[in-house]
Chains A and B, each alone.
Chain A
């Protein structure tokens, strides 16, 4: 019997908002899939384009960046910069014809536990429809 596909979504979560939001989702016992692999970063702008590319090429089926809402960054403007960097990677992916849906940027505040659970569920669904990342099995990377 074929094993059911469980996506792996490497998630870079900002310490001040989204990571705390994820914690809240946990303490509130909200259900969200195990596909989310959280990595805490001090700010969404800490995520260098290479982090996303590396995660993608290493076989992550999805890559998520979670940051504070625009205007709410702990460092005032970090998330605006993160958005610009993210746009570059997205553009590079689109130019190269790679699946840019495997990259996602989401704003989730520390108080938005339910939103975190919702995003985690919805994004996992989306990735399951896309299927496994073709880089996962490639040996010529």
Chain B
């Protein structure tokens, strides 16, 4: 399906985009095209959201399909549900594009089995920073309503939302689009055969062409790309070598919250949490003698740099790491920038669902000329296998 042929169906949006999504899901459940849905719901205290897997239609009334903030990355919810296999239930999950992209990365790592999932995304205006939301839920809801209306993030949003270029449809099964459209309508667009089958089952006519919506997206994307470029320049200037790196991560308390909030860091035992990573006391004393002193516990910088090397190829810049940092280190800004560069090295975009395996699971015989010595004449080209 090429973009030009793609058409969508119109949903009435009298109750804002979230309401239209809820009505859509209710219909899908009533027609038994889905056994359950996964949606955010406000927690009883009212200052946060939780992912709820619901098969009771009446629960839908309290669900908030487009939540103001993202306490837990949705890919984690999908992983907990499908890590051992696709299961028998047909489940629709409505999530932010970065959450679906993280789930795609996890599926390439064998941690999510999306076969029976219908992954739905929406035009994401950004997410309010978790701390801001917890501090002032009512005010944050107001901010978010404004963001939703404009379709783009404001100051209360996570910094990475301002530089996010993948805020709209991105290899999901269905997508709810509202940007560039009148306030009374929401488009539902199929993105895969699974999605098309669902819309057909619901009896929705795909008659609406997508021009207005696409135009809305393209405009916003251009703005975001500009801000992405300038923000990356700033981050680069801030890092700028060993001392820059040290100062950015200077107040790291070594809690590893960034890692546990990260949807990609699924390893049950991370090297950095393992016994092996703990250095021998004698080695520390020797190191201190050589250097004149040493900060304890060690390896904070190695933890961050190591994580960049381990997961930045799959980083979807969701910003959960920054939200989780108790000392406000701009972890996500750094990782987003570094990830942009590593993914560029392999012409890879994290979250694509095009059957392409992870860059580390494949290779080309002749590639990456800049990273190793080029074979000189004297060394002679060696015969390749196969």
Whether the pair A141, B301 counts as a contact (CB closer than 8 A) is: yes
Residue of A nearest to B366 (CB): A70
Residues of B within 8 A of A115 (CB): 379
Complex Cα spacing A140 to B345, Å: 31
Given contacts A98-B241, A139-B291, contact A83 B372 (CB under 8 A): yes
Q: Which of B8-16, B179-187, B203-211, B242-250 is near enough to bind chain A?
A: B242-250
Proximity bits, B280-303, A CB within 8 Å = 1, else 0 = 000000010011111100111110
Given contacts A92-B312, A97-B244, contact A107 B372 (CB under 8 A): yes
- For the complex, would chain A's binding face be called helix, strand, loop or mixed by DSSP majority? helix
Complex Cα spacing A105 to B369, Å: 11
Whether the pair B306, A50 counts as a contact (CB closer than 8 A) is: yes
Residues from 308 to 331 in B contacting A, C-beta threshold 8 Å: 308-310, 312-313
Residues of A within 8 A of B371 (CB): 83, 86-87, 90, 105
Chain B proximity of A21: nearest CB distance (Å): 12
Using C-beta atoms within 8 Å of the partner chain, give the interface range for chain B.
35 or more
Residues of A within 8 A of B375 (CB): 69-70, 107
Chain A proximity of B241: nearest CB distance (Å): 4
Complex Cα spacing A86 to B241, Å: 19
A80 within 8 A of B: yes
Residues of B within 8 A of A94 (CB): 341
B225 within 8 A of A: no
Q: Given A87-B368, A141-B295, list of 5 further CB < 8 A pairs?
A: A50-B309, A50-B310, A71-B383, A81-B360, A83-B368
A-B contact list, 5 entries, CB within 8 Å: A58-B287, A70-B384, A84-B359, A97-B244, A141-B302
A-side residues, CB < 8 A to B, are 48-50, 52-54, 57-59, 69-72, 76-77, 80-81, 83-92, 94-98, 105-107, 112, 115, 134-141
